[in-house]
Amino acid sequence: MPYLYETHMHTSQASACGVSRGREYISRYKDLGYTGIIITDHFFGGNSAVDRSLPWKRRIELFCRGWEDAREEGARKGLDVFFGWEQTYDGDDYLIYGLDKAWLMEHPESASWSRKQQFEGVGRAGGCVVQAHPFRQHFYIRRVTLASALVHGVEAANGGNSEQSYDALAWAYAKKLGLPVTAGSDIHEACDVREGNVLGVWLDKKMETIADYVVAVKGNNIARLNICPGRCDLRGNEDTIIPVEILDAQEKVIARDIRKFLNL
């Protein structure tokens, strides 16, 4: 029996762009047959709703409120709720899985990590890093930055992407690098949780803890993506309209021509 999970979503308690509180999502995902959800609110490098001038531990308390709110309601209604977050650099975003509130409390340095430090630190602590919507080209993004050697996986399908080509390029990029692929809705409002509008991943084994998801990603054991047919298919005209920088393990630029890099 496969199990369906949401991997990318935001709450109003911790993400400035979030509209709905954590508990408001539970019934909707439950009704659509999801086994669980992973709350991934914006961390302090991105669009966080938490005042960055507060003491660190107070910031973490506030940052975790959306997840805790969802978890409480999920326990009541039979939907598993797990914890993660989304960190932002220069327009490039990364989903962090496998670490918890207690870990964050003891690691204030994580808020200022470079991409390299993040990959090494998260991995050392038993977590994983997945680059979110790597080819998104919205108005607020100056360039496509691809941390090719500093992630454990790639979000190949993102419900917040406005163009199908963004997902197609992400899929091709992940396959070029031999990286696992994930899918997430990037949902910000509970009313958007409806049939045909939410993504996710199917797993063959039920998650007991978020560590199970880390194992699935790192082991490339995601059964399939919850996406419509053809969503990640290349059609031959995919390209970027903003600059591209592909980074190595030292965060040095190794390529800028994405079509050449992907042999398109």
Q: What is the mean pLDDT of residues 66-95?
A: 99
The three-state DSSP-derived secondary structure of 4-30 is EEECCECCCCCECCCCCCHHHHHHHHH
Q: What is the mean pLDDT of residues 9-33?
A: 99
Q: What is the mean pLDDT of residues 95-105?
A: 99
Least confident among 186-190, 237-241, 248-252: 237-241
Residue 164 has pLDDT above 90, yes or no: yes
pLDDT digits 0-9 by tens, 167-187: 999 999 999 999 999 999 999
User: Strand 253-255 and strand 244-247: pairing?
Assistant: antiparallel
Q: What is the mean pLDDT of residues 125-139?
A: 97
Residue 13 has pLDDT above 90, yes or no: yes
Residue 40 has pLDDT above 90, yes or no: yes
pLDDT digits 0-9 by tens, 179-233: 999 999 999 999 999 999 999 999 999 999 999 999 999 999 999 999 999 999 9
CA distance 59 to 62: 5
Whether pTM exceeds 0.95? yes
How many residues are present in the chain?
Answer: 264
Q: What is the mean pLDDT of the chain?
A: 98
Residue with tokens 């999970």: 5
Q: Is 244 helix (H, G, I), strand (E, B) or coil?
A: strand
Q: What is the mean pLDDT of residues 23-51?
A: 98
Q: Is 243 helix (H, G, I), strand (E, B) or coil?
A: coil
Ordered by where they begin, the domains of the chain are 3-227+237-261 (3.20.20.140)
Question: What are 207's two structure tokens?
Answer: 């998650």
Residue 1 has pLDDT above 90, yes or no: no
Q: Is 217 helix (H, G, I), strand (E, B) or coil?
A: helix
Band (pLDDT 50/70/90 cuts) for residue 144 is very high
Q: Count of CB atoms within 10 A of residue 53's CB?
A: 6
Q: Count of CB atoms within 10 A of residue 196's CB?
A: 6
Among 157, 22, 43, 168, smallest CA distance to 111 is for: 43
User: What integer pLDDT is reported at residue 211 of this predicted model?
Assistant: 99
Residue with tokens 């408001």: 24
